Amino acid sequence: MKIKKIFSDKRDSESRKLVLYLIFPIFIMFVVLLQTINLTVINGKKYETQSENNRIVSRTIYPTRGLIYDTNDKLLVENIASSQLNLVPERSTDTLKKIKAIADLLNLEKSFLLDIYERQIKKPRYPFQPITLAKSLNDEQIALFSVSSEKFKGFSVETGLVRSVVNKKSLAHVLGYMGYSESNDVNKSSNFISGNQIGISGIEKTYHDQLSGKVGTRIEEKDVSGKFVRVLSENNAESGKDLKLSIDLDLQNFLIPFFEGQKGALVALEPKSGLIKALISSPAYDPNIFNSSSSLAEIQSIFSDDEGPLFNRATMGNYPPASTIKPILGLAALDEGIVNWNTIIQDDGEFYVEGDPRPYRGWKEDGHGKVDLEKAIVESSDVYFYSTAYDLTIKRLEPFLNKFGFGAKTNIDAEESNGLVPNEKWKLGYIGEFWFKGDSINLGIGQGYMLSTPIQISQAIAVIANRGEIIKPRLVEEIDQSPTELESLGKINLKDETNWEKIEKSMIEVINAPNGTANNIKDTRYVIAGKTGTAQIKSYEDQEYEDIRENPFFRDHALFVGYAPVPDPELLILVIIENGESGSRVAAPIAKAGFDYYLTKNE
């Protein structure tokens, strides 16, 4: 019995030892089993995707951006092949350090490349989608990179397309430029392509969705070093639509030299259709600097230029319309029964308001004598319109001007300002003062607080040519060969419809009559109806104008607006020359040159 017990105790001891020896291996096997289940079952899809991304890459296929032509099918904007520096961030380490080294190697500006990288890396993008850091690399830069490419894993030089404006400065403000937009601008576009450029201004911005097309995708297989192996699948991109503008490039280029060294704007449009034939803002800039340049210094010089070359004066410049609105004020006075065509006012060069000793002076020191409405428009009598505006009051002036589109955007297919038709509420809110009679008097000659854009004045005067119909101005004539439609914004009905023709006759006499303010542009070949304007930008109540004009920036603006040939006008032209002083001597001859070119070029 004792022997059996001894053997039994020995077996139990050996069994316990065996169990102890087996516990650790069993635990290890259990852990391995759990991890295997985790990798293959629970998170299998996740790790499969990560593995695939090491060799399978989804690449964006950028569509070809639509081309832009003028009304005569002359190419304005094209896409040209360019060698560009690309970066795939997922394949790069020490990226910022490498960008700086590449900038030194290729003689590019570090801050420019870093800015592009930092802006683009924050935006949503597909994995392994490249970022373009620089465009238009030259042969020397390409060769330098090729020699050192092994040092810059993740970077490559590839061929792409860049936007190129054929005529450079000629149509800068019409066409606009491309750039890397901020995220809030990107969200406004339904077709923004991450990593690619977007239209920042002009037609490039307004019609970005139509021009940009739709992206495609290509699934590629690459080896462990990132080199291309094969295409697995492809969804082709859809090219952008071509645009045909209403701009006549020949007319545009003919008129631009008249603005050399001057600030100003020009609008030339067809009154009946609203199609813009020429649109100039001076000074201008070269959009190609933004489209493809890698020079931060060039771009900064444009932004810092005090002359404001990026500012589109034709659609966004706010100017006093001055005497160009006198025909419209005449229509208001007729329609409200303030005057008729036989009403005579004595103009001795000054207008007084009862109880106010301060005179409101006219531009002609001794006045114009006895003046009716026609003579007031022909000779541009300020006193006549002081009187009519005083009688009309702001309560009738404002709504009548609003009918013609003043104080609101024309909705042209470009960026534009609202302008301003002031009233009592506006003055109290913005100036903190009540409306005075003198404010209405100044409004009668397009001065005081009133501001308008060149495109607004053009649209308003076109209403006279169209006998009350308001036509929306437009720059695009066709989209992908489909014509855009003429859009009427309504019709102004006068109590006496014959006043349209009578006002036009007065505007004809501005040019044809010996005493007309624009008689210097009279032409026997065709008839022009127009109006000059001289916009005072600094008050000179207590100072003589000759003292003020010593500072060129305080000199009056020169304006002219007119249409021809009457009675069937084909073209309306508005010209404003900042600080040009005389509408008749400075602005009107530019418009006349435009009429001559456009109306007689086929003779």
Show which residues are catalytic: 323
* Three-state DSSP state, 128: coil
| Core vs surface per residue 204-231: b (16+ CB within 10 A) or e | bbbbbbbbbbebeebebebeeebeeeee
Q: Residue written as tokens 């989209």?
A: 479
Residue 71: partners with Cβ closer than 8 Å, 6 or more residues away: 244, 245, 246, 247, 248, 275, 277, 477
CA distances from 421 to 381, 397, 452 (A): 22, 9, 8
Residue 568: partners with Cβ closer than 8 Å, 6 or more residues away: none
Residue 92: partners with Cβ closer than 8 Å, 6 or more residues away: 98, 152, 153, 154, 155
Closest C-alpha to 239, from 421, 8, 63, 102:
63
Q: Where are the beta strands (DSSP E) in 210-263?
A: 216-222, 228-235, 243-245
Q: Residue written as tokens 């208001």?
A: 332
Query: Which structure tokens are listed for 412?
Result: 């042209």
Q: Residue written as tokens 């709504």?
A: 399
* Three-state DSSP state, 528: coil
Contact 408/402 with Cβ under 8 angstroms? yes
Distance of CA 396 to the CA centre of its chain: 34
Query: Which structure tokens are listed for 405?
Result: 């589109």
Kind and range of the H or E run holding 135 = none
Residue 312: partners with Cβ closer than 8 Å, 6 or more residues away: 173, 201, 202, 281, 414, 415
Separation between Cα atoms, residue 440 and residue 383, nearest integer Å: 13
Contact 474/413 with Cβ under 8 angstroms? yes
Contact 529/523 with Cβ under 8 angstroms? no
**What's the angle, vertex CA 329, arms to CA 325 and CA 333, rounded to 5?**
170
